[in-house]
Chain A
Amino acid sequence: MIEVKNLYKTFMNGQVETSVLKGLDFKIEEGEFIAIMGRSGAGKSTFMYQMSLLDEPTRGEVIIDGIVTNTMSNDAKTLFRLSRLGYVFQDYALIPELTALENVTLPLLMQGMPTAKALSTAKSALTTVGLKEHVNQLPSQLSGGEQQRVSISRAIAHNPDILFADEPTANLDNESSRTVMDIFKQLHKQGQTIIMVTHEPEYADMAEKIVTLDDGKIVGVKKN
């Protein structure tokens, strides 16, 4: 489903060139739950950003369902992200002026879904993550765990092909983290492809496969 070929990512800091990803090759099949691990600065988030089309690799290819994404225009990438990918960020990344329901509804409306249908779909997604009673609350009125669950609802409401999660439990307490991971396990059981960056082995063990990065290279792939 996702094929990464000879992937390089280099950042320029003034005159200094820093290579973060150094020629990665990797394949992820449909329905897999992948955890990407590694030390700080190993390049795990950068790797995920390339696969999730949030960033452009310096060299190499990211092929999703046979589509070489490098050649896509920005608008095409935006549309691709909207319709086929879902994102859960470490800091929840909710829009502060929108209620929980509106945060989840927005991408559905952008897909052209009628308002009534978008609202019912968003409500259903929020109910799935146990936030039925909080739909009209603003992010500032929710706890960290609740905000992350809203973020997950937003990511899954449109049934994306791939769900990307960048350290989704990093800002959460243990209980909230477990709730979030339970949701991921449930989604995976339903066939959802999940690619998660984490530095917590306990949660990485819940994935089907753990990919370990070090110094911009894949140094291990372990099946759980």
Chain B
Amino acid sequence: MFSPLNFRIAFFLATRQLRRSSKWTNSLIVFVMILTFLNLVIVSGILVGLIQGAIEAVREQYTSDVIISNLNTETYIEYSPDIIRTVESLPQVDALSARYVSGSTLEANYKSRTDPNEKPNTAGAQIAGIDPVAEDELTGLSRWIIEGEYLQPGDYDQILLGSYLIKKYIPVDNPGFSALDDVGPGSKIRIQIGNVEREVTVKGILKSKVDEVSFKAYMVDSQLRGMIGRNDFNVDEIAIRLKPGSDPVVVRDTLLRNGVGTYAKVQTSADAQPKFIKDIRDTFALLGNMISSIGLVVASITIFIVIFINALTRRKFIGILKGIGINGQAIELSYVMQSIFYAFIGSAIGFILLYAFLQPFVARHPIDFPFSDGILVAPLSGTLLRISLLVVATIIAGYIPARMIVRKNTLDSILGRK
């Protein structure tokens, strides 16, 4: 079948049949191929992308590329100032933010509550003590302010509240979860950390799809440090952003080699992902592939029908070709070449649409899911694999009907006998 002569004749027949057949029919088949290709890539791409969007958002807004946090056996990172100096000395590091983190209870109605039996309006929250400039430079925290203003370095007794700490921003009333009622910028609330209490003013409300942001409260680091008595400047988290092109794994390993691992956990953003997130992403990818494979079957059947009808209506001419001595395998190959043409052109146009328009568009205008800004994940290797699958499926779908017709008796084909 694959002799050069058969290829030559098949190419001769296929090109002329494609060139001189109906342009509408060809366009329609190519259109089906484009849709199939996009279906193959986009369904799984979006399913994976909505989880990947959440993962990316956590990296961007919380962990950054590498995060150092306290060991499970410690409540803070020992020798934090030394570790920060080590981190800053690494050439790959672009920016960092050191955070103090402490559990707290926030109370809103302590002033208006006159009856000692009245239920206090409280919410449990983690408070992060941050350098507002460094944090904003690293994670762009100020972008998520929806009410009030962002913190300034000299702010005294000011606090930012994540939206999930305020009742009106919680979409579902969860009986096991308490939030502050009737609180906004300018409201006074009381913070209690251990035995230390302080009255602070709400300066702004933050709303993000990243729970680590929306469930937290933020204060200037010096304020929180005073409340938790951390006078040794040992922090709880150090989030590190790397320069473009730097490998987080290399930085992590360098820090571990420098002994940072003795005093803290050093993780890349990927390491810090909870396992269930990875599992969900893999499950969605599998689900996407299953849905896409249905599209692949549909496309294969379409090509089968198109080639079958084409070959069936041309049965007489196939008979004539065989009659005048054209090798049956060359004829079959000509139909396979036509199938490849349809798959290749459809994939090529789909490929251009995907990478030139769809992916950049979705990146600029992410799909607004409740828990993430969904992106379109379409790695080149995966796309090329799907193109290969589509081509292989269409080769098979083109070959089978061609073979069925070419195998028929030559004279019966010429004379149109059954």
Interface of B is mostly: helix
Taking a contact as CB atoms closer than 8 A, the residue among B5, B324, B414 that contacts A81 in the complex is: B324
* A79 CB-CB contact with B under 8 Å: yes
Give Cα A111 to B19, complex, Å. Answer: 24
Q: Which residues in window 307-334 of B have CB below 8 A to A?
A: 316-317, 320-328, 330
Give Cα A79 to B21, complex, Å. Answer: 29
Q: Which residues in window 108-132 of A have CB below 8 A to B?
A: 109-112
* A78 CB-CB contact with B under 8 Å: yes
* B214 CB-CB contact with A under 8 Å: no
* B16 CB-CB contact with A under 8 Å: yes
Known A-B contacts A78-B322, A138-B20; the reply to A93 vs B414 at CB < 8 A is yes
- A residues in contact (CB < 8 Å) with B: 49, 54-55, 75, 78-79, 81-83, 85, 87, 89, 93, 95-98, 102, 106-107, 109-112, 138, 154-155
Nearest CB of A to B58, in Å: 58
Tell whether, in the assembled complex, residue A110 and residue B16 are in contact, meaning their CB atoms are under 8 Å apart.
no
Known A-B contacts A78-B325, A93-B320, A96-B317; the reply to A110 vs B5 at CB < 8 A is yes
Known A-B contacts A82-B325, A106-B9, A107-B325; the reply to A54 vs B320 at CB < 8 A is no
Nearest CB of B to A188, in Å: 21
| Chain A residues positioned under 8 Å from B369 (CB to CB) | none
- Give 23 A-B contacts (CB < 8 Å), ordered by A residue: A54-B323, A75-B327, A78-B325, A78-B327, A79-B325, A81-B323, A81-B324, A82-B326, A85-B325, A87-B323, A93-B320, A95-B321, A97-B16, A97-B17, A97-B21, A109-B8, A109-B9, A109-B12, A110-B5, A110-B9, A110-B325, A110-B327, A155-B324
In the complex, the 3 A-B pairs of residues with the closest C-beta atoms, listed nearest first: A82-B325, A97-B20, A93-B320
Tell whether, in the assembled complex, residue A107 and residue B324 are in contact, meaning their CB atoms are under 8 Å apart.
yes
| Chain A residues positioned under 8 Å from B8 (CB to CB) | 109
Tell whether, in the assembled complex, residue B325 and residue A83 are in contact, meaning their CB atoms are under 8 Å apart.
yes
| Chain B residues positioned under 8 Å from A82 (CB to CB) | 324-326
Tell whether, in the assembled complex, residue A87 and residue B324 are in contact, meaning their CB atoms are under 8 Å apart.
yes
List the B residue with the shortest CB-CB distance to A81.
B325
Give Cα A96 to B317, complex, Å. Answer: 8
Give Cα A79 to B326, complex, Å. Answer: 8
| Chain B residues positioned under 8 Å from A79 (CB to CB) | 325
**Which one of A109, A111, A112 has the greatest number of beta carbons of chain B within 10 Å?**
A109
Give Cα A190 to B323, complex, Å. Answer: 25
Nearest CB of B to A8, in Å: 16
Query: Could you list 18 further interchain pairs (A-B, Cβ under 8 angstroms) beyond the known A49-B411, A85-B325?
Result: A54-B323, A54-B411, A54-B414, A75-B327, A78-B325, A78-B326, A78-B328, A82-B325, A89-B414, A95-B317, A96-B20, A106-B13, A107-B324, A107-B325, A110-B325, A110-B326, A110-B330, A138-B20
List the A residue with the shortest CB-CB distance to B20.
A97
* B339 CB-CB contact with A under 8 Å: no
Give Cα A97 to B317, complex, Å. Answer: 10
Give Cα A81 to B323, complex, Å. Answer: 7
